[in-house]
Structure 1
Amino acid sequence: MRYLTAGESHGPKLTTIIEGLPAGMPLLQEDINEQLARRQKGYGRGRRMQIEKDTAEITSGVRHGLTLGSPVALVVENNDWKHWVKIMGAEPFEGNEEDIKRKVTRPRPGHADLNGALKYGHQDMRNVLERSSARETTIRVAAGAVAKKLLSLLGIEVASHVVEIGGVKSNVSSYESIQSLREITEESPVRCLDAKAGEDMMKAIDSAKENGDSIGGIVEVIVEGMPAGVGSYVHYDRKIDAKLAYAICSINAFKGVEFGIGFDAAHIPGSQVHDEIIWSEERGFYRKSNRLGGLEGGMTNGMPLVIRGVMKPIPTLYKPLQSVDIESKEVFSASVERSDSCAVPAAAVVAENVVAWELAAAIVDQFYSDRFETLKEVVDQQRKYAREF
């Protein structure tokens, strides 16, 4: 299972083509649009979220609410495109290069601007920033929503919450059920389980905005219902934790990932790191604790997956950092594009969906998946086998 995305931040639309979905899987546009709406929420978002009301259109691969087994194409229109036709249009520009509006020659520290210009030889770095923009995560969430639908139909649920923003940490990590986690975080403007910490996070975001600054944070993704043994210990490129780490770090502005207790494992003894194995007739083999976050030896172990990612502060600031104009080589303050002061709550939704994609892809790769009904049967058989082993 794989997908490719296309589209620029201020281009006409964002597109993805998904290949490898099983035939006969129920899929509606509402399944996708629910996730797109969640991505646009969150305290600290900028004006772009007021302009774009993202909805996806399924343009191929689905008939009468069921996948066909052929590629599924999704399209999200950019409502702001009407203001950018002359700037971002595909037709040859009529006039002098100097007449192109909103040309970018001043690279912003922390962005792809300068590196991308050096890579592709762009003298106008708008050619870089339009594609490197986090706007691209819109269509990745759309693809992830399809994966979440597949997982949900297989009895696998994915949720997330924010554990830290700008140094303010949540003191609540436990939850009654994944459904209760969803309900609490959907009501929180910062997707935090801790109401008091959530209020302090919003104050930190307000303070950063007033100062023309930005702040980052940490999000946690929880997955329940994954059967044991998905992934591989045999080949490095099939280890599921490696794929999940890759997925998290592929999100714009994410700079680190950890599983379970993560980096805390570096300074405590092994007896407090590894999860003891026990057995019951009802559950089969399971772990007394979940410090390793549901992952051992490059495979799922049947326990809930716990994955955290750290997002750096957004580098587009309203008090710009120093930069150098690539044409004149003069020192300037970096140019300012419309931006958020904090996108951590929205990034939690993106993280959910990229994690869902990797898990769905691993299941489709590991089990027979041409037909959805058969895929469900073999996944259920794997669960039964593990319980009775």
Structure 2
Amino acid sequence: MGHLRFMTAGESHGAALTAILEGLPAGLRVAREEIDAQLARRQHGYGRGGRMKIEMDRVEVLAGLRFGETLGSPLTLQVINRDFVNWTERMDPFGTPTGPQVTAVRPGHADLSGVLKYGRGDARDILERSSARETAMRVAVGAVCRQLLAVLDVTVASHVTEIGGAAVDRTAIRDADIGVTNSGDLNCCDPAAETRMKERIDAAQAAGDTLGGIFEIVVRGLPVGLGSHTQWDRRLDGRLAGALMSIQAIKGVEIGAGFACAHLPGSEIHDEIFMGADGHPCRRTNRAGGLEGGMTNGETLVIRAAMKPIPTLMTPLQTIDIATGAEVSASKERSDVCAVPAASVVGEAMTAFVLADALCGQFHADTMTDLCASLAAYRARIADVRQTS
């Protein structure tokens, strides 16, 4: 199965967030600036809340790296929570409980299910870990994986295609623009649509409401045959969908034409195969989104994810107080109006991890030298489709 694995630890207002990434090949050059750049992208975006004005995420490497190169041992990454100074007493690992308890559990959040599952009387014990603040470490891990993919000439990009019902005009966006002409505010490639998105965000903020949306991830340069059709858990589409669905607030994932496949006949969905001028098979459409039979097919990988509105509303919804059983307004935590641009960065990170894992698992990857040589040999073997028959 997988070659790479990672775990994260830390609470939203705790002292720090930590991740351990295991299985990286030795000899990968890792640049701190590239990790910090991805962390900054996650924090930016129109509609983000006050917390992002406090935190200035910077990575610290505690293990697994020496003089800028991986050692083959687990890589330990850490991001300090600057806001912890304001929460030290309330989040003290050993102190006496202090501060107000959160008992008005929020609809749409992990609060109620979590307190019931883990037998807690204070929803803060749940919401601190279920918070999307955890994704800072996913982005840090993904940033390392992006650097591995870059050595193999694989690139991962994303763009926001819809927020609150305001959608981009796909005819106004060239595929080559995605990841190049994106705005800094909303990670959007269509300026006219971005203006409408901002108007929707402003209106939601004024109403004490929140908005969700859709983002699309585009991966270029993958070899044919990454993944496998032989077992359910080796199918790359399933692994990618699971990784994206694991991101907080993501409620739907589609690959290529996705749900449109249910409404059209096969003649309008399946991508016909032609022989290219270079002697390689090619497709003139990409409705499959670069995946067929659980494996990459050589076309651009295209995945979309739908994010629901954030469940913390400044005009709270009705709920119950778990301490009294009374019907009350839900508690309010400092939150965002819209975090779809941030989610798109997390989506890139999770995609980068899954693809790096698939490549390291399929090709010899004790060292970067071995990985590059193994992939090059594979590419050479499949260069002529006639040799495989």
Q: Please report the RMSD computed on the Cα atoms of aligned residues, expressed in angstroms.
A: 1.2
1:22 match: 25
Quote how far apart the aligned CAs of 1:172 are. 2.9
Query: Is structure 2 residue 65 aligned with structure 1 residue 42?
Result: no
Query: Is structure 2 residue 282 aligned with structure 1 residue 286?
Result: yes
Quote how far apart the aligned CAs of 1:387 are. 2.2
* Alpha-carbon distance between aligned partners in 2 of 1:302 and 1:6, rounded to the nearest angstrom: 36
Quote how far apart the aligned CAs of 1:378 are. 1.6
Query: Is structure 2 residue 304 aligned with structure 1 residue 301?
Result: no
Whether the 8 Å CA contact 2:224–2:297 is kept in 1: the answer is yes
Counting only pairs closer than 5 Å after superposition, residues 108-123 of structure 1 correspond to structure 2 as 108-123=106-121
Quote how far apart the aligned CAs of 1:26 are. 0.6
Query: Is structure 2 residue 346 aligned with structure 1 residue 350?
Result: yes
Give the TM-score normalised by structure 1: 0.96
- Greater mean deviation of Cα atoms: 378-387 or 332-341: 378-387
What are the ranges of 5 or more consecutive residues in structure 1 without an aligned counterpart?
none
- Greater mean deviation of Cα atoms: 205-214 or 278-287: 278-287
Query: Is structure 2 residue 201 aligned with structure 1 residue 195?
Result: no
Q: 1:346 to 1:173 in 2, by over 3 A?
A: farther
Quote how far apart the aligned CAs of 1:113 are. 0.3
1:385 match: 381
Instruction: Give identity over the alignment, percent.
Output: 50
Whether the 8 Å CA contact 1:285–1:386 is kept in 2: the answer is no
Query: Is structure 2 residue 361 aligned with structure 1 residue 368?
Result: no
Query: SS where residue 298 of structure 2 aligns?
Result: coil
1:102 pairs with one of 96, 100, 103:
100
Whether the 8 Å CA contact 1:257–1:307 is kept in 2: the answer is yes
* Alpha-carbon distance between aligned partners in 2 of 1:73 and 1:57, rounded to the nearest angstrom: 8
2:204 match: 208
1:126 match: 124
Whether the 8 Å CA contact 2:44–2:184 is kept in 1: the answer is no
**Matching residue's letter, 1:27:** V
Quote how far apart the aligned CAs of 1:283 are. 5.5
Query: SS where residue 361 of structure 2 aligns?
Result: helix
Give the TM-score normalised by structure 2: 0.96
Q: 1:300 to 1:48 in 2, by over 3 A?
A: same
2:95 pairs with one of 92, 95, 99:
92
* Alpha-carbon distance between aligned partners in 2 of 1:387 and 1:176, rounded to the nearest angstrom: 28
1:32 pairs with one of 31, 35, 40:
35
What are the ranges of 5 or more consecutive residues in structure 2 without an aligned counterpart?
none
Query: SS where residue 316 of structure 2 aligns?
Result: coil
* Alpha-carbon distance between aligned partners in 2 of 1:218 and 1:135, rounded to the nearest angstrom: 20
Quote how far apart the aligned CAs of 1:280 are. 2.5
Question: Residues 218-237 of structure 1: CA distance to partner in whole angstroms, max 9, x if unpaired?
Answer: 00000000001010100000
Quote how far apart the aligned CAs of 1:190 are. 1.2
Whether the 8 Å CA contact 2:163–2:211 is kept in 1: the answer is yes
Whether the 8 Å CA contact 2:30–2:69 is kept in 1: the answer is yes
Query: SS where residue 29 of structure 2 aligns?
Result: coil
Query: SS where residue 159 of structure 1 aligns?
Result: strand
Whether the 8 Å CA contact 1:172–1:193 is kept in 2: the answer is no
Quote how far apart the aligned CAs of 1:281 are. 5.0
Query: SS where residue 126 of structure 2 aligns?
Result: helix
Runs of 4 or more above 4 Å deviation: 173-178
2:319 match: 323
